[in-house]
Structure formats: structure tokens, C-alpha cells
Structure 1
């Protein structure tokens, strides 16, 4: 049987919504986590049998209107709603061409222009394509600084380095789920996901939730073995001339202990590599 990504996503998201979340009364003993299929169909205004066929994979081509109605019923945020449209084939792919691993020389120069700010470039599979010296200093517990997902789930340094590991791990899974939804036929994210599923029970459990999340802005909490606790805010920017690439810039609050920790880390990293 063909893969049923649309149905799996709907089931996972249905299980994540409780009747109280949508002001729906709950009667009797519930044998399912979250909403029943009939409840989703009522909330979305679609035929219950039709919705069942969507989950079972017997119907794979809902209209954009139905997708929008289901998104509202399942309380999907913007990233998850976009992902559902992609699975249903009701929107064009966000990524028109394969992502290049080549980072433009001008962008590399831009990275080096942030002497005290970690900055790096990633692709949709969270491979680190280029990084400036402060980013290399921050991520120095990892050798190499190659893929953010592997660094979180498969590297021993991952858990002690990320102070809020569970939060970071869930975010990483959400990013990979979004990348997979954009181009499920691409070998790169598919092979990475298979590797993570095979070697990390935590990843496999989180992957089954079908949580979708794009990179925008968020606080990050680190505990560096040489600098202690560091709290940073990151911003993600699409690289227009290289679809799929993103520039990630970390920022510490001016005058904060985290800013001082970054300064010390950068100086130590530079001295070490000059010796």
C-alpha cells in the first residue's frame, strides 16, 4: 500500500486536540486520545465518512476548502496548516529546486562580519553549510559541527549542551517534519530521518507526533563546558539566491553574562586555533 502521510498527519493531530480545547462536551468513556473522527467532521463541517476515508488513505485529494476547514478544526498553526496543504497537494511546493550545498562567497564574507555573534547557514535537513568563528566556538563541544539534528539526538554532548533538551529536540523534529513535507521525495531528509529513527528512540517518539515547525525566532539555552550557561535569541533569514538555505544569527542581550561568555569563548577559540 502506498504511504499515507496525509492520513497519518490527520490522526496524529486529532489525537493532540482534547474536546475541552474546542469547547466540545465529552460524554462517556473515551477510547481514543484527543477527538473522535465524528467530532472532527462536525467541527470541520465535512461528512464523517469522507473524513474517515481521508485518514484511512482511501481519499487523498481533498479540496483547499476542506483542508482549511480541517486546519481550523484541528487548531493547526501556520506551519502545520501549510504542511497539511502540501500533503493534500493543494499548494505549490515551497522549494522549487534542490537546495544547493554551496554557500555564496559574499554570504561567507557576511558571516565573518559578525565578530562577536554566532552565525551560520543551514539547509532544510539542518546540515551546517558554513559557520563563522563565534558559531564554531559556541558549538565547539561537537566535532564536527555538521548537522543540528544529529548533534541533538546522536551525539553524547547533545543533552548536557542543550539546557532545555526536550524543548530543543521537539523544535528540531518540527523543522525536519516541515522539510519532509515540502519535498517528501528528496533522498537527503528521508535518509537522515531514517537514521535518526533507527538510532534514537526519543526522535522516533517525537516524529510520530507529526509536529510541524518552521525556523523564525526563538530563545536558545546552552550550557557550554568552558563558559557555563548561555541564553541567546536566534533569527532565521531565507537566502533568496539559494532557495532552501537559511542564515541563522544568534544574539545575546547587550551587557548580559551571555554576551560576556560569548566574548570569552570567541577569544579562547581564536587563541586555540592560532597555537
Structure 2
């Protein structure tokens, strides 16, 4: 049985759903799981048919509890570092996917599990979700984007508090400070995530992908430099068939049929 599963959802089956499926271990990821995840992400990223991605769990008890410390317990220092290089590739692949990626979280998203969330573009969470980066309680620090990305999501002061205390934060608290896009209950999270994804996939895929890239590239950049780079991203959309189709559809009062060209 696959411990990472890929399926499609949505009215046009153009939304990829990546499901973590190791419930007996709270989806703690092993080398095998990371390899499966990386292969699936690369497959989806290369697809022109997939226009949005959901990452979710097969169990409402846990989204992902991070790296499997039982597997790591007997590793040499070299083996640990080699495994972490694989993890870095996996997390970077999530972050760099051309499609918008929505984390769909119930239960625990801790350590590397929370870093999966932070490497996604949006977050739909249940009010029973729990988030945290408890690495300091094990004498280590987040190694796949936690310190780099959390401050972008919730601000520097709160990020320092969360990371340096290692405390666990409820979905309700996370929503109040702006980490969560939609907070709902366990039975509704997948439905709500699909609703957002359906809104995304109706739009021009080149425009959506370029918007994602632009936001990431320009965050925190000085305004004058950012304006120059932003217009370069804008110009990528001009010479496309999708831009012409969008204008035609508006004039003809119909829904556009974007081809991603």
C-alpha cells in the first residue's frame, strides 16, 4: 500500500490531491515516504492538466507529526545528513511547484509536518488542528523552512516565540493571527479546500502561476526594485493565447476557455 497517494478531484479532475497515508505513525515521514512524496510532486509539477494541488491526510487525528524519530534513532551522523538532503529536496519541491498548493489540515501538524504546511501557498484547517515547531525541545531547530517561512506568515516576533518555545498552537489561535485562510470543522475541510481550488482552476493557469511566482519573489523586496521585477512578471502574461481568450470571453459575455498557452 502506498504511504503517499495521488488522486484527482474537482469538476474537471484538474485538482491533484496528495494524501499522506501512514496513520499508524501519525504520518511521520520516513525515507521511503519522502521518496514517494518527492516523486509524486515532480510528476504533478510537470503536468499541464493539473492546475491546483491539495495536500491532506488519510486520518483526522494527524496531518503529519514530522520526521520519524524511531527511524532516525539508529542513524549515523552521515546517514542523518543524507536523509535530510532528501527531505530538503522534498520540501523545496513543494514550495516550488508551479501550481498553487493548499494544505488541508486536521489534527497535528508538527515539526516537519508544520513545515510542509509552511511550504504550501494556502491553508485550510479544522478548528481541531494543532500546529507547532517543537524541535528545540529535542535539541535541534527546524531544518526545512520553519524559521525562514514562519516569519513571513505571522511576523517576526510571533515566529520567534513559537520557534524558541516549541509550544503547540491551536487552529483557532492560528486563524486569529492570519496563518489560516479558512477555519472550519473536520467534516468540512476537504470541501472548503476544493471550493478554493475550483475558483483557482477557472482562471488562466499561466496568470495564476505567474502571480504565485511574483508574490514569492517580491515579498520583502524594496519597492523600486520590486516594481521593475513585477512588470517583468506581468509581461509574461501579455504574449499568451490565454490573455487573448480572456478578452474575447469578456466581450462575448461567456466563460473563458483557458488552454494554458
State the TM-score, normalized to the length of structure 2.
0.29
Larger radius of gyration: 1
State the TM-score, normalized to the length of structure 1.
0.28
Q: Please identify which structure carries the higher strand content.
A: 2
